[in-house]
């Protein structure tokens, strides 16, 4: 079963626009929610992460919004740039001291110039 | 340069052959992981190790084995490769303190014919 559901599968945004990717999870024991960015031929790179004790975290143009009651979290990319074109994965894990991440299926983002 | 190295970068393998994917990290992370990435399925955990000398099964462990003789190395072995094991394999590592991020290697692209 897919414990973390991610949408949309693909997304096209104009340069300067806002990219929004959504994820929903089922396991209420998850308490760590990272987002990864992956360029073709490369490994996933940690972008930003949040814990459920806060509703929002911002790092530069990237913001995670977290809704614990709805079991949903989303990634917002403000002022999207062509260099942001990549595949984005949400993930979740329980903080047991080490992290067995459960990933969403990924969103391919294309930012048009 | 601190990070994770994987070898080989890519490999074409005949079905039934034995193959070991190598992974080495120099960040002194206690925890290490193997994921496989398949289109439309995201990344799925194969095996993990939270410290040298211990290993555990992830979501898709069948057909794979691992060992963790020391902190730095975490090889993944396919005892008798099958075409369904065609995938991109990523090794990852993390510290064991709360909130430690999971960092990924560059991947090994494996094709089983």
Q: pLDDT by residue (tens digit) across A17-55?
A: 999 999 999 999 998 999 999 999 999 999 999 998 899
Q: How far apart are CA B1 and CA B14, in angstroms?
A: 34
Q: Check whether B86 has a pLDDT greater than 90.
A: yes
**Any CB–CB contact under 8 A between B102 and chain A?**
yes
CB of B89 within 8 Å of a chain A CB? The answer is no
Instruction: Tally the C-alpha atoms within 13 A of residue A62's C-alpha that lie toward its C-beta.
Output: 14
Q: Would you state the pLDDT for residue A2?
A: 65
Residue A49: list chain B partners with CB under 8 A.
99, 101
* B33 to A100: CB separation less than 8 angstroms, yes or no: yes
Measured between beta carbons, the chain B residues lying within 8 angstroms of A44 are 43, 90, 104
CA distance A80 to chain B (A): 23
Yes or no: say if A11 and A110 are a contact pair by the CB < 8 Å rule.
yes
Q: Check CB contact under 8 Å for B58 and A45.
A: no
> A94 falls in which pLDDT band (50, 70, 90)?
confident
Residues on chain A touching B104 (C-beta within 8 angstroms)? 36, 43-45
CB A104, CB B40: distance < 8 Å: no
Phi and psi at residue B83, to the nearest 5°: -55, -30
Best interface-test mutation with A: which of B4, B42, B50, B87 has the largest number of A CBs within 10 A? B42
A6 and B42 in contact by Cβ < 8 A?
yes
Question: Would you call B96 and A98 a contact, using CB atoms and an 8 Å cutoff?
Answer: yes
Q: Out of B4, B41, B58, name the one closest to residue A100 (CB).
A: B58
Give the separation between CA A21 and CA A58, rounded to whole angstroms.
15
pLDDT at B64: 98
What is the predicted pLDDT for the residue at B95? Answer: 83
């Amino acid at each position: 079963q897919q414990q973390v559901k991610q949408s949309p599968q693909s997304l096209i945004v104009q340069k300067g626009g806002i990219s929004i990717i959504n994820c929903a999870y089922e396991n209420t024991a998850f308490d760590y929610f990272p987002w990864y960015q992956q360029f073709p031929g490369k490994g996933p790179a940690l972008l930003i992460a949040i814990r459920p004790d806060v509703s929002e975290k911002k790092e530069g143009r990237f913001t995670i919004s977290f809704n614990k009651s709805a079991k949903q979290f989303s990634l917002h990319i403000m002022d999207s740039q062509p260099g942001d074109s990549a595949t984005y994965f949400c993930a979740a894990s329980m903080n047991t001291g080490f992290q067995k991440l459960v990933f969403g299926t990924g969103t391919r983002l294309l930012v048009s110039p | 340069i601190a990070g994770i190295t994987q070898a080989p970068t890519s490999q074409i393998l005949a079905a039934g052959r034995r193959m070991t994917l190598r992974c080495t990290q120099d960040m002194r992370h206690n925890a290490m992981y193997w994921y496989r990435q398949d289109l439309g399925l995201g990344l799925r955990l194969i095996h993990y190790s939270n410290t040298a000398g211990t290993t555990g099964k992830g979501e898709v462990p069948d057909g794979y084995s691992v060992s963790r003789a020391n902190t730095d190395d975490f090889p993944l072995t396919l005892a008798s490769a099958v075409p369904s094991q065609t995938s991109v394999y990523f090794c990852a590592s993390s510290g064991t303190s709360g909130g430690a991020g999971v960092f990924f290697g560059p991947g090994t692209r494996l094709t089983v014919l």
